Structure 1
Amino acid sequence: MSDSAPAPRPGLDGRIPTIGVEEEFFLVDPRTRLIVPAGPAVVARAAREVGDLVTKEFALCQVEGRTPPCRSAGELRGELERVRGALVAAARAEGVRLCASGTAVLQEAGPAQVADHPRYEAGRQQYRSMMDDFAISALHVHVHLPDRELAVLTANHLRPWLPLLIALTANSPHHRGTDTGYASWRAVIRSRFPCLGPPPYAASWREHQRLAETIADTEAMLDANTPFWDLRPNPRLPTLEIRAMDVMQDLDDTVAVAVLLRALVRTCAARAQRGDPGRAWEGEVVRAACWRAARDGWSGAGFDPATGRSRPVGELADQLVALVRPALDEAGDLGEVTGLFSRLAALGDGAARQRSWAAGGAGPSAVVDRLVLATARGGGAPG
């Protein structure tokens, strides 16, 4: 950028921003391995220990754990261990198990039972049978960014990195006992909805709002003030929220993705502050790249935000680290991120691990058992 670029906008003051994480989990019967509608009971029990850091989800077979804002990777890891641990213990006390997978590996025929909530009922009225298999578990990362104008401009720079984020975190190859052939079937389920997936490019907060209101007027979105795009200024919190990722098995991987996203937000926000608008990749291009990432995960090729051409995902990961390395170094987070990519190179993504368990054990039941074990270890509990 030239020295004559506009002065930085308010909202990014040079301090390392806080980060927060939301993890969604399935609850499964340890005998049948089917998902079970135990969410309200598990949340009520876990809340005795961690309060409102646990909450119910759309489907009664799910629960959510969330951290308070954290300043360091170590602090974030400790909070994730605390909240996961409370949920693991509460699930066991209720006779069920916590399972970190983007989709349900095993599920009875028919739609999952859903909570009695006006917003959920409105979703059923609006989207009808599209909601029947909308029991999916995500990882959401929040990066403190209170200036909504800057958050929208920053999101423009992040949009073309969404396919890589899907590929890195893919952890949902199975659905209702079947291997779908995709690394992230959760991303495919979400892509059916016109109001989910990559956000549109918007030149300002006002344009972002106008687009949301126009889409909501078509009834493709429930509420213009609460869009569910993969990137959004959170409606209630002073954060930019990234929502594209499957929930991950390994807690260390979750921490690494969170600090990587903090570094990416800082890097992109600094570019936006200097007046760089980012490339306005067409929505069709970004959605197509997200589809390929969902199909192939870490083992495939992905979308290069600089050129639009396909490159091996590992090369794109190296490119991303090079882009954000100054921010990673400043926060002391480089080791977390390089550790993530070393594990991915050695073990593959979550989808590859699920498939290896299915091949080496008793099929989908073995996958559920290993997922339960990995989830419990992430919460500091024995298997």
Structure 2
Amino acid sequence: MAGTAQHAHITRFIDPVPPTAGIEEEFFLVDPHTRRVAPDAAEVVRRAGTWSGGSISTEFTKYQVETRTDPFSDVDDLATEVARMRDIAATAATEAGLRVTATGTPVQGDIVPPPIADIPRYRETTAMFRTLQDGQSISACHVHVHMPDPELAVLVSNHLRPWLPVLLSMNGNSPYWAGRDTGYASWRTLSWSGWPVAGPPPYYESRDHFDELVGTLVAGGALMDRRSIFWDVRPSAHLPTIEVRVADVAATAFEGPLFAALVRALVTLAAQAVRHGDRGPRTAPELLRAASWRAARDGLEGKGIDTRTGKLRDAGQLVESLLAEVRPILTVWGEWDRVTGWWQRLRSIGSGAARQRAAYAERGHLDDVVDCLIEQNRPGSLHKGRTVVHSG
């Protein structure tokens, strides 16, 4: 973590125009009558058609669709685009007789084994990782921040590592798994934990160290290729970006941009620290793993492990520490008020996991959880620039 005393010096070199950032979000499709996941992603994508900017596609299982925004510098523009993409996905799903739910895991349905999309790469993945695939009905939010320098990207990852549990605690939105309350805020995180290359990334000495490590993992059969690196932070294999993948898909449209704004600020602060000779703290992997587990279990409403001290603190206090870390960057960019407003809104309504459990607590029905998720992303008016391909 870049020290607070360094901020005044580092922020003098910050570009007043933020780097671009984009968001990928994955959603589950459900039948509005049974409230169970429905394997009709291809039909929803077909109906979505094309529009100005962004894209929508199928995902690993036939229950899921993924939206991807274009990259934006202005966080308000990014937030508008996230809402637009969600509206497109929800509208296309409704036209197909389905609904979109933004949750990290399916609340109800027969999901083991999941119906995997018939794509050659997915077939290869299944052959390689076998029954691990049974737990992959999961939906995440990925943030890409523009960073064309691969050496810088891997060293920035070192600085992001200690903050990953805090970011995870803010974004826990998968308490239910196929009809059962798991006891976790982010069961999606635990579903990933069995994979050979997942969770907090290692500490890198250099880009060469990263390349050597990944090459060893590929040669040893733990990775198919660089695209199958599932660490919580990774240099993108096909874009000039650094990608942060630690979050569940957010329950509502403002939470993804909040996550993206914090990630982009952390990335920028870290990049400046690297340029000034700081390769990042050597936080012990055992501590990071424990802190990530605790964040996945407790979420925003519980306690988390402070990776600087190893002690438990209220998760909200850890978020406040993160905000204090990036405040100089957000102030330079004119985003401080927007981001803290989103944060206060999140604190007032509770995490996605807490909202799912509150919906269940009213009557003790999981159908109510699904209905709540549907309501949070109900389609609005059609957006200019969209072309829907209708059947018949």
**Which category describes the TM-score, using the shorter chain as reference length?**
over 0.9
Report the equivalent of 2:24: 22
Superimposed CA distance per residue, residues 6-46 of structure 1 (whole angstroms, 9 cap, x where no aligned partner): xx9xxx86641011000000000000011111111111111
Give how far 1:262 is off.
Answer: 0.8
Q: How does 1:14-163 map to 2 (within 5 A)?
A: 15-49=17-51, 53-108=55-110, 110-163=112-165
Report the equivalent of 1:296: 298
Distance 1:223 1:138, change over 3 A: same
1:255 equivalenced with 2:248 (yes/no):
no
Question: Does structure 2 retain, via aligned residues, the 8 Å contact 1:47–1:53?
Answer: no
Report the equivalent of 2:308: 306
Question: Does structure 1 retain, via aligned residues, the 8 Å contact 2:91–2:379?
Answer: no
State percent identity of aligned pairs.
44
Q: How does 1:168-247 map to 2 (within 5 A)?
A: 168-224=170-226, 226-247=228-249
* Stretch deviating more after TM superposition (252-261 or 156-165): 252-261
Question: Does structure 2 retain, via aligned residues, the 8 Å contact 1:325–1:334?
Answer: yes
Question: Does structure 2 retain, via aligned residues, the 8 Å contact 1:49–1:86?
Answer: no
The amino acid of 1:114's aligned partner reads I
The amino acid of 1:366's aligned partner reads D
Question: Does structure 2 retain, via aligned residues, the 8 Å contact 1:198–1:230?
Answer: yes
Distance 1:43 1:225, change over 3 A: closer
For residues 256 and 127 of structure 1, what CA distance do their matches in structure 2 show?
A: 34
Distance 1:140 1:192, change over 3 A: same
For residues 183 and 166 of structure 1, what CA distance do their matches in structure 2 show?
A: 10
For residues 362 and 368 of structure 2, what CA distance do their matches in structure 1 show?
A: 8
Q: How does 1:257-272 map to 2 (within 5 A)?
A: 257-272=259-274
Superimposed CA distance per residue, residues 98-121 of structure 1 (whole angstroms, 9 cap, x where no aligned partner): 100000000125312111112211
TM-score, reference length from structure 1: 0.93
For residues 323 and 135 of structure 2, what CA distance do their matches in structure 1 show?
A: 36
Q: What is the Cα-based RMSD across aligned positions, in Å? A: 2.1
The amino acid of 2:89's aligned partner reads L
For residues 305 and 207 of structure 1, what CA distance do their matches in structure 2 show?
A: 24
For residues 46 and 188 of structure 2, what CA distance do their matches in structure 1 show?
A: 27
Report the equivalent of 2:387: none
For residues 257 and 54 of structure 2, what CA distance do their matches in structure 1 show?
A: 21
TM-score, reference length from structure 2: 0.91
* Stretch deviating more after TM superposition (195-204 or 309-318): 309-318
Give how far 1:379 is off.
Answer: 8.8
Report the equivalent of 2:360: 358
Give how far 1:310 is off.
Answer: 2.2
The amino acid of 1:64's aligned partner reads E
Report the equivalent of 2:343: 341
Gaps of 5+ in 2: 4-9, 384-392
Question: Does structure 1 retain, via aligned residues, the 8 Å contact 2:258–2:343?
Answer: no
Aligned length: 373
Give how far 1:338 is off.
Answer: 1.4
Superimposed CA distance per residue, residues 187-206 of structure 1 (whole angstroms, 9 cap, x where no aligned partner): 00011112111111101111
Distance 1:23 1:276, change over 3 A: same
